[in-house]
Amino acid sequence: MGRFEGLTAVVTGAGGGIGRSVALRLAAEGARVALLDISTGAADRTAEAIAEAGGRAESYRTDVTRLADVEDALDRAENDLGPLTLAVGAHGIVRNHPFLELPADDWDATLSVNLKGMFLLLQRAAVRAAANGGGAMVAVSSVAGRGARPTCADYAASKAGVISLVHSAALALASHGVRVNAVCPGVVDTEMTRAIHRQKAEINGITPEESFAEQAAKIPLGRIETPEEIAGVIAFLLSPESSYITGQAVNVCGGLEMN
């Protein structure tokens, strides 16, 4: 028996690098997984991979910034897959602009997707999990939410906001039997990171591979992390093994942050 046998989980950003890996991991451990993403094609590919591995998943096109989208997707997910008790917020966007050039519209877009979208997911999923007897949720923040990021102040603020949101939600939901935690990845090998390094490589006149290697050299464990390494920690935080952990933000960053 897998740790999530018979349970239904929702994963946002399920077409992206980390979301896909989390969805595959939860399905491999027995969960039926609702895959929410604004990119239908990407979420469909995750659903296909889960089905090929013998698991059960459905994808739902969802813009997490829209309450009606989130509600509709969760309604359909419960109809298709059963009562929801587990949720993972792994959607997100990042744009790089030096602070003095950061457009106000980009600020709004980043805060809307990364922070408002996380609020909508956690709140709407928590209503269902509480009604279904309790559950667990994990929000993907970032080590960027722990400190200064002069070339993506909007992203860092959104991720600091996610940590604060998780604290408030954990306190509000503890008596409803719903645990809420965050993970803070460092640098993960996904399309988000590859796009940043293509941009950096062009600016610095090097190849994206060289830019990746420079980044890896700054990480105490000496390498960029895999999405599966985040998925394993998220699965732990959703499982009964972490039954006494709530309101925490866990760094999964190869030692980039030590607090």
Ligand X SMILES: NC(=O)c1ccc[n+]([C@@H]2O[C@H](COP(=O)([O-])OP(=O)(O)OC[C@H]3O[C@@H](n4cnc5c(N)ncnc54)[C@H](O)[C@@H]3O)[C@@H](O)[C@H]2O)c1
Q: Least separation, in Å, of the C-beta of 52 and ligand X? A: 19
Which 3 state secondary structure label does DSSP give 152? coil
Q: Least separation, in Å, of the C-beta of 132 and ligand X? A: 23
Is 132 or 164 the residue whose CB approaches ligand X more closely? 164
118 CB-near residues (< 8 Å, 6+ apart): 64, 89, 91, 139, 162, 165
Strand partners of residue 188: 225
Is 132 or 215 the residue whose CB approaches ligand X more closely? 215
Is 226 or 239 the residue whose CB approaches ligand X more closely? 226
44 CB-near residues (< 8 Å, 6+ apart): 15, 59
Report how far residue 96's alpha carbon sits from residue 237's, in angstroms, rounded to the nearest whole number: 30
Find the helix or strand (DSSP H, E) in which 57 lies. strand 56-61
Active site residue 60: no
187: nearest Cα among 148, 144, 225: 225
Closest-CB residue for ligand X? 16
Site residues for ligand X per CB under 6 A: 12-13, 15-19, 37-39, 42, 62-65, 90-94, 113, 117, 140, 142, 185, 187-188, 190-193
Is 32 or 146 the residue whose CB approaches ligand X more closely? 146
Q: Are 7 and 31 in contact (CB under 8 A)?
A: yes
Both tokens of residue 45? 């590919």
Q: Least separation, in Å, of the C-beta of 168 and ligand X? A: 18
Both tokens of residue 152? 């993506």
Q: Least separation, in Å, of the C-beta of 136 and ligand X? A: 18
In terms of DSSP bridges, do strands 56-61 and 178-185 run parallel, antiparallel, or are they unpaired?
A: unpaired
Q: Least separation, in Å, of the C-beta of 216 and ligand X? A: 12
Active site residue: 155, 170, 237, 253, which one? 155
Is 63 or 177 the residue whose CB approaches ligand X more closely? 63
Give the active site residues.
Answer: 155
